[in-house]
Amino acid sequence: MTVFVYAAIVFGVLAFAVGTAARAVQYARQPMHLRWELYPVPHERADRAAHGGSYFEQSEWWRQPRQRNLRGELAAMLPEMLLLKALREFNRGLWYRSFPFHLGLYLLAAAAVALLALAGATLGLGGAWPGGAFGRGCVTAVTAVGAAGLALAIAGACALLLRRIQDPALRAYSSPGDFFNLGFFIVALSALGLGWATRQDGAPGALAIAAGLLRWDLAVPIPALLGAGIVLSALLLAYIPLTHMSHFVGKYFTYHAVRWDDAPLGEARRLRTALSASLAHRPTWAASHMRGRGDGTWADVVATNPSREDGP
């Protein structure tokens, strides 16, 4: 039994990491696209970013040095990542449900990392976590964060599921998978929470299991429900990158590579090289005006005037 739990954790974490990385790599490797930004762009100079302006507001913008306002970019990113600012602004009703859910997941992730750190320290200290005020304090803090995370995530997932079922506008657009995804969160995290809360005195808790995992100690007797919760949660973790729930990856690119991508071609060798490479592709679009009169590359197609028979 224990070996299954350990194996599931390792599998879940690895699958999540590989799946997420694969998605990120897939998006990062897409060709340069035409500009399609959306203002405000927060890395603009602060006085312009305040009203959503761009460098095009300057006279002869191409003569002005371009400054990248990193502080502005971070000031836009952090509230968006941590507080789901856009959702709060544009869909408050959903935010009341979605924010606790996401905050719960953040807390759970933080608790898991802290737990592994404590477990690692335990091994370093010879196998036992020190009692004492500090030692107990650490454990209490991690426990509190984890428990709060679980409670928030489960409550949020329930609220989201309920809304998806009740609101006709959401229901009409939902697939069976959408309901399943939320249900999966509720079941896996509930099992985790219940298993942890109902474990018997003397049964290993989260820290003991984490330390056991690091030692690969198969003798740790993991209670059944808690073990099931861990396995389900690990599978959920592995499942996320396969679905639109990996939108945290997508969001990085929709913001940085589309909405805020205002880099002019002239400044970047990278973009100029990408343009030459793209213009060398041969499109196969079937409409008659899409043909070139030469070698059929994009460079040829865009240099052709389809309204004139004599070309170009």
Interface of this chain with other proteins, residues 43 to 102, rule: CB under 8 A: 44, 48, 51-62, 84, 86-87, 89-91, 94, 98
Site track for other proteins across 162-201, x = CB under 8 A: ------xxx-xxxxxxx-x---------------------
112, two tokens: 């898991």
For other proteins, how many residues bind (rule: CB under 8 A)?
Answer: 86
Give the residue from 237, 161, 225 showing the smallest Cα distance to 193. 225
Site track for other proteins across 229-268, x = CB under 8 A: --------------xx-xx--xx-xxx-xxx--x-xxx--
For the chain, the first-to-last Cα distance in angstroms comes to 73
Q: Are the C-beta atoms of 220 and 184 separated by less than 8 Å? A: no
Q: Where are the alpha helices (DSSP H) in the chain?
A: 2-28, 46-49, 70-83, 85-90, 92-124, 133-166, 168-172, 176-197, 206-215, 224-239, 247-253, 269-279, 298-303
Euclidean distance between CA atoms 289 and 286, whole angstroms: 9
At closest approach, how far in Å is the CB of 312 from other proteins?
A: 10
Euclidean distance between CA atoms 273 and 285, whole angstroms: 24
Burial class (CB in 10 A: 0-12, 13-18, 19+), 234: buried
For other proteins, the binding residues in 270-309 under the rule CB under 8 A are 271-272, 275-276, 278, 281-290, 298, 301-308
Nearer to other proteins, 32 or 119 (CB): 32
CA distances from 123 to 51, 131, 214 (A): 54, 15, 8
At closest approach, how far in Å is the CB of 56 from other proteins?
A: 5
For other proteins, the binding residues in 208-227 under the rule CB under 8 A are none
Nearer to other proteins, 128 or 258 (CB): 258
Nearer to other proteins, 56 or 216 (CB): 56
At closest approach, how far in Å is the CB of 208 from other proteins?
A: 37
- What's CA 154's distance to the chain center, in Å? 19
19, two tokens: 């799946």
For other proteins, the binding residues in 15-44 under the rule CB under 8 A are 27, 30-41, 44
At closest approach, how far in Å is the CB of 131 from other proteins?
A: 45
Nearer to other proteins, 49 or 111 (CB): 49
Nearer to other proteins, 71 or 92 (CB): 92
At closest approach, how far in Å is the CB of 9 from other proteins?
A: 25
Q: Does residue number 2 form part of the binding site for other proteins (CB under 8 A)?
A: no
Nearer to other proteins, 198 or 305 (CB): 305
Nearer to other proteins, 2 or 246 (CB): 246
Q: Are the C-beta atoms of 12 and 237 separated by less than 8 Å? A: yes
